[in-house]
Amino acid sequence: MPDIFDSAGNTPTVRDTALVVMARYPQKGTTKTRLARAIGDDAALELYKAFLADLAQKFAQRSYDLHWFYAPAWIDYAAFLGALTPSLAASMCFFPQRGEHLGERLHHAFLTTHQQGYRNTIVIGSDTPHIRPAIVAQASAALERADVVLGPAEDGGYYLIAMREPHDVFHGIPMSTSLVLQMTIDLAHKQGLSVSILETFFDVDELPDLLRLAEILRGDQELAPTSAARLATIEELV
């Protein structure tokens, strides 16, 4: 089977831009573990499924191709996500994560979409169900003038990275630390690459992040309606 496939197992006809969501298969006890310590394993599991559903509903069937870059590699992620969002199954593509470390896996994502003929690749995580489509549009526009586009996360990492070419701006960077963003910028500059920075955003990893998300969605449920509905059922947040 090719690296990238659609829900029917076929290689899709590519558009100009690939939007890649880096995601995991939800499993009780291993999903959103930091949140689970505060809200419980079951609530964390269902909440992550809601995040995935919102991202699918928000970004499928647009002018770019939506890809799910999933782990573990042996999971039938197309079947899982098709069951979660059946009306969107035919409009999404899938390929497994490969590599020992996060940086290797990210680099593999860019290599894969580049080999498939995409001019632009934008990668986001699955912990920002409230991300706006306008941010993805801004990243796409920024690629017209920059080699690397980064969306800074408040914890010192990034929630989005976009490139036209699969430059290795990952090697040697200690991922999941507060140094990731700046070290990525420095590594890009050492390679002579130009960098564009988007607005700062936050991932939902800890209970304070979740409380913040709940407050945002109380003001605008349409940003992530499935997550908003799920949050309303979590006792710790009501």
119: domain CATH number is 3.90.550.10
Is residue 74, in this structure, part of any structural domain at all?
yes
Q: Which domain holds residue 33?
A: 5-227
- Alpha helices, H only, 28-165: 33-39, 41-59, 77-84, 102-115, 133-142
Q: Quote the CA–CA distance of 204 and 208 in Å, as a whole number.
A: 8
Q: Residue 182 domain-assigned?
A: yes
> Could you tell me if residue 184 is inside a domain?
yes
> Is residue 238 domain-resident?
no
User: 42 in a domain, yes or no?
Assistant: yes
128-146: buried (b, 16+ CB within 10 Å) or exposed (e) per residue?
Answer: bbbbeeebbebbbebbeeb
- Confidence bin at 8 (pLDDT 50/70/90): low
The pLDDT-based confidence of 1 (bands split at 50, 70, 90) is very low
Given a cut of 80, whether residue 14 has pLDDT beyond it is no
Assess whether pLDDT exceeds 70 at residue 13: no
Residue 177's pLDDT is: 87
**Mean pLDDT in residue range 61-79:** 94
* Domain count along the chain: 1
Please give the Cα distance from 214 to 62 (Å, whole number): 27
Residue predicted with more confidence, 229 or 7? 229
Tell me the H-state helices in the chain. 33-39, 41-59, 77-84, 102-115, 133-142, 180-190, 207-219, 225-231
Is residue 160 in a domain? yes
